Structure 1
Amino acid sequence: MQYIMTFIWTLILSEMVVYVVSSMNGAAFHFNTGVVISIFVTILLFVLTALIPNDPVEHH
């Protein structure tokens, strides 16, 4: 479930970014651009969370 919600939130946020940037540039809005960005960001988030260790930190 967390993977689906992560993708949904990245999709919503990337579509907002694509809409705002395309409006500021005077370009046409393309839904597919936001989908591609959200897929890339979702995969990047999953890879980064897999690389970060979950071990407790020892106090010195």
Structure 2
Amino acid sequence: MQYIMTFVWSFILVHMINFVLMSLGGGQELHLVTASVLSVLFAIFVILISMTIPNDPVPNHHEH
């Protein structure tokens, strides 16, 4: 479920960034295919980063 939501959020965020940047760039046309490909690449990048970060708790070392 977390992978599906990662793809959903990356799709939403990349398309939103695409819309804003194309609107600021002089009213150019939207490239939805490019934004969709970038959203998939971004989601894969985020998933790979989350796999490399350890999920173990950090041990507390009490120095006296």
State if a TM-score over 0.5 links the two structures: yes
Any unmatched runs of 5+ in structure 2?
none
Q: Moved runs in structure 1, 4+ residues, more than 3 A?
A: none
Pair member with larger Rg = 2
| Bigger share in helix | 1
Report how many aligned residue pairs link the two structures: 60
Unaligned runs of 5+ in 1: none
The equivalent of 2:10 in structure 1 is 10
Give me the TM-score of the superposition, normalised by structure 1. Answer: 0.89
The letter for the 2-side match of 1:40 is L
Shift of 1:19: 0.7
- The 1-side partners of 2:18 and 2:51 are apart by 28
Alignment of 1:1-60 (within 5 A): 1-26=1-26, 27-60=28-61
TM-score (normalised: structure 2): 0.84
Q: Percent identity?
A: 43
CA deviation vs aligned residue, 1:38-60 (integer Å, no higher than 9, x gap):
11110011100110011111111
In 1, distance between residues paired with 2:9 and 2:56? 27
Shift of 1:20: 0.7
Shift of 1:22: 0.6
